[in-house]
């Protein structure tokens, strides 16, 4: 990915997308350490607050309709213009977004935006990015990681419950992303 950025001097907004458990957060953190004056903006900060979701929304948390894609688009448009601002973050242990937790200043040279749905056609975000990356990962390996993460962060109490949540929610989200052609539309696919 560093090579792709060198080929695009002046690239400012970089999207890292992929299915749940593909390694988006891990790659973003690694890129942050390798790119001086970069910041990571996680799409997860745009989860709708739990209080705004009905029981189905809570059960399917992480599906497209449980995010505020319009707010994300507005914030990215504003960021492209001003090159600074405060943005929400998300902590899986807290289970709700934290407004203003990510501060991007005018000295930031590259903003790495990471998240599931950044390349979805319906979200219309692609034109805002200078480089789009899709992390290609075997779906079973990725979903095993997600089941373990559900247990580690306390979203579920048992490995079986983690597996059930993966099968009833995360797999569906992964299949939507793949069916939409996000991988095929990315500038760069990393596997």
104: how many CB neighbours lie within 10 A of its CB?
18
Bridge partners, residue 45, by sequence: none
pLDDT of amino acid 167: 95
Q: 100 by DSSP, 3-state: which? A: strand
Count of CB atoms situated within 10 Å of the CB of 100: 12
To 5 degrees, how large is the angle CA 52–CA 54–CA 57? Answer: 90
Q: What is the token pair recorded at 55?
A: 């029981």
User: How much is the pLDDT for 155?
Assistant: 82
First to last CA, the chain: 11
Q: By the 8 A CB rule, do 50 and 95 touch?
A: yes
Amino acid 94: pLDDT? 79
Q: Report residues of the chain scoring pLDDT below 70.
A: none
Domain 2-190 adopts which CATH fold? Answer: Rossmann fold (3.40.50)
* CA nearest to 48, candidates 78, 88, 79: 88
pTM attached to this predicted model = 0.93
Give the pLDDT confidence score for residue 66 in this predicted structure.
96
> In angstroms, rounded to a whole number, what is the distance separating the alpha carbons of residues 123 and 69?
6
Phi/psi-derived region of residue 181, left when phi > 0, alpha when psi is between -120 and 50, beta in every other case: left
What's the rounded Cα separation, in Å, for the pair 171 and 128?
28
What is the model's pLDDT at position 156? 86
- pLDDT score, position 6: 83
């Amino acid at each position: 990915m560093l090579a792709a950025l060198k080929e695009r001097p002046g690239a400012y907004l970089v999207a890292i997308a992929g299915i749940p458990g593909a390694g988006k957060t891990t790659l973003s953190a690694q890129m942050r350490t390798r790119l001086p004056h970069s910041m990571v903006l996680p799409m997860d900060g745009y989860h709708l607050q739990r209080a705004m979701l009905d029981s189905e929304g809570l059960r399917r948390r992480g599906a497209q309709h449980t995010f505020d894609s319009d707010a994300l688009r507005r914030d990215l448009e504003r960021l492209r213009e001003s090159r600074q601002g405060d943005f929400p973050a998300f902590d899986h242990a807290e289970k709700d977004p934290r407004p203003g937790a990510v501060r991007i200043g005018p000295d930031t040279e590259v903003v790495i935006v990471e998240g599931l749905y950044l390349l979805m056609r319906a979200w219309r975000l692609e034109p805002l990015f200078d480089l789009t990356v899709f992390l290609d990962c075997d779906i079973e390996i990725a979903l095993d990681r997600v089941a373990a993460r559900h247990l580690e962060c306390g979203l579920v109490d048992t490995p079986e419950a983690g597996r059930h949540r993966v099968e009833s929610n995360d797999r569906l989200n992964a299949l939507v992303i793949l069916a939409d052609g996000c991988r095929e539309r990315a500038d760069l696919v990393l596997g």
